[in-house]
Amino acid sequence: MRRLLFLAALITGCVHARVASLTPVQQTNDGQLTCEQIVLEYKTNTQIADAKIAKNENADTRDFWLGVFVWPGLMDLQNADGNEGNALLDRNLFLRELAKSKPCAGVESWPAQPKRYT
């Protein structure tokens, strides 16, 4: 009985991590996008990806110390924000190639991509 209570305490003491909602690289309406829409989505994706990756990197440090000093079950190993940020960067690679295949001007002046989450 004592072992069962200990096992129950172990299971309930673990954190429920958020599952990543990944952006697909290609979407059904990509062929109809104008150059202005491609640029807008690219810049928006870049800002969101940067914020998500930075948030996940900060959380990794916190999770490490929680796991070491408090309880390993408190660590979030799903890395949802980092994976979502990487998915947006993958989408941006596709958008850049799509813009190059259309007569879009100034693709080279688009903002640089943040470092991928690893």
3-state secondary structure of 116: coil
Q: Is 22 domain-assigned?
A: no
pLDDT band, residue 61 (cuts 50/70/90): confident
| CA pair distance 80, 105, nearest whole angstrom | 34
In residues, how long is the chain? 118
Q: Is 2 domain-assigned?
A: no
Of the two residues 101 and 4, the one the predictor is more confident about is 101
- pLDDT higher than 90, residue 48: yes
- Does the pTM surpass 0.85? The reply is no
Q: Output the pLDDT for position 19.
A: 85
| CA pair distance 34, 31, nearest whole angstrom | 9
Q: Is 99 domain-assigned?
A: yes
**Dihedral through CA 107, CA 108, CA 109, CA 112, nearest 10?**
100
Residues 6+ apart with CB under 8 A from 116: 53, 85, 86, 89
| Domain boundaries, position 76 | 34-106
Question: One-letter amino acid identity for 30?
Answer: D
- pLDDT higher than 70, residue 6: no
Q: Express each pLDDT in 62-107 by its tens digit.
A: 777 767 677 666 666 678 889 999 999 999 999 999 999 998 999 9
Tell me the C-alpha to C-alpha distance, in Å, between residue 40 and each of 31, 45, 58, 91: 15, 8, 28, 13
Residue 113 has what DSSP assignment? P
Q: Is 95 domain-assigned?
A: yes
Q: Is 1 domain-assigned?
A: no
The overall average pLDDT reported for the chain is: 84
Q: Is 94 domain-assigned?
A: yes
Q: Is 67 domain-assigned?
A: yes
Q: Is 51 domain-assigned?
A: yes
Q: Into how many domains does the chain fold?
A: 1
Of the two residues 114 and 71, the one the predictor is more confident about is 114
Q: Output the pLDDT for position 56.
A: 86
| CA pair distance 94, 81, nearest whole angstrom | 20
